[in-house]
């Protein structure tokens, strides 16, 4: 069996699990708990076209959406952080849909943040190509994270919880240049507010504890960035 055929069969298995909820899943703005972008992609494509869902949908988007809800949310110490986790998830979906809609109609994508123009994202891709190529989609998706995080309110999250958020992704994510790029864009907006955040929430002791307990991960992240800069 060819690898592509095996992948297609696996994708079909996922789709069949949702077939009994087809009408609910097809509804515009479906709120059905079984809805997923992976299954939605499969409904819009056929075996003949041979298109498979972007790896991002299940290997990154679904993975971190689930992980943040199961592990990060319970560890948050402030309502501002908990609100960010909830709102950012909604904005991630919103901006992803806006960009894909624009790509279906043309080659230009413009995602406009409602809170800070520095978070705006402008990209160019071949028309109707973004969702059909893994590398292209990953580049697009990571860019869409920036306005989603900002509009979700990450600049309001107390330092203690902000450090927890930064340390939550797996270390290998920080080895990816696109992860670094989106982090830098967000940091350029959030960093000027850090001083005032510390004065308001005074999380120095807890923040220091988080840094110490995650030092190996933080050291590896900055070591990798430093080596890139040196090269």
pLDDT tens for each residue of the chain, 231 residues long: 444 555 566 556 655 554 555 455 445 444 454 557 777 777 777 677 778 888 888 788 888 888 888 889 999 999 999 999 999 999 999 999 999 999 999 999 999 999 999 999 999 999 999 999 999 999 999 999 999 999 999 999 988 888 889 888 887 787 788 888 888 888 888 877 654 444 444 444 444 444 444 445 444 544 544 444 444
Please report, for the chain, the start and end positions of each structural domain, with discontinuous segments joined by +: 3-43, 56-225
Q: Angle at CA 72, nearest 5°, toward 68 and 78?
A: 125
Q: How many CB atoms lie within 10 A of CB 150?
A: 23
Q: How many CB atoms lie within 10 A of CB 33?
A: 8
Q: Are 122 and 108 in contact (CB under 8 A)?
A: yes
Tell me which H or E stretch contains 121.
strand 121-124
Residues in CB range of 200: below 8 A, 6 or more apart: 158
pLDDT digits (tens, 9 = 90+) for 165-210: 988 888 778 778 888 888 888 888 887 765 444 444 444 444 444 4
Q: C-alpha 214: how far from its chain's center?
A: 22
Q: What's the CA gap between 172 and 220, in Å, rounded?
A: 10
């Amino acid at each position: 069996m060819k690898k592509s055929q095996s992948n297609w069969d696996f994708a079909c298995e996922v789709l069949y699990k949702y077939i009994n909820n087809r009408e609910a899943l097809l509804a515009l703005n479906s709120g059905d708990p079984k809805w997923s972008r992976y299954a939605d992609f499969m409904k819009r494509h056929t075996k003949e076209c041979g298109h498979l869902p972007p790896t991002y949908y299940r290997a990154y988007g679904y993975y971190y959406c689930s992980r943040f809800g199961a592990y990060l949310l319970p560890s948050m110490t402030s309502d501002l952080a908990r609100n960010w986790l909830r709102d950012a998830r909604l904005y991630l979906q919103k901006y992803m849909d806006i960009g894909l809609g624009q790509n279906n109609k043309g080659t230009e994508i413009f995602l406009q943040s409602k809170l800070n123009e520095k978070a705006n994202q402008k990209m160019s891709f071949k028309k109707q190509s973004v969702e059909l190529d893994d590398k292209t989609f990953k580049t697009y998706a990571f860019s869409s994270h920036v306005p989603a995080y900002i509009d979700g309110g990450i600049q309001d999250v107390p330092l203690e919880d902000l450090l927890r958020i930064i340390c939550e992704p797996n270390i290998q994510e920080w080895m990816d240049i696109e992860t670094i790029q989106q982090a830098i864009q967000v940091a350029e907006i959030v960093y000027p507010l850090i001083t005032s955040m510390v004065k308001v929430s005074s999380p120095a002791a807890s923040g220091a504890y988080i840094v110490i307990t995650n030092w190996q991960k933080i050291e590896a992240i900055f070591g990798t960035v430093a080596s890139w800069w040196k090269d």
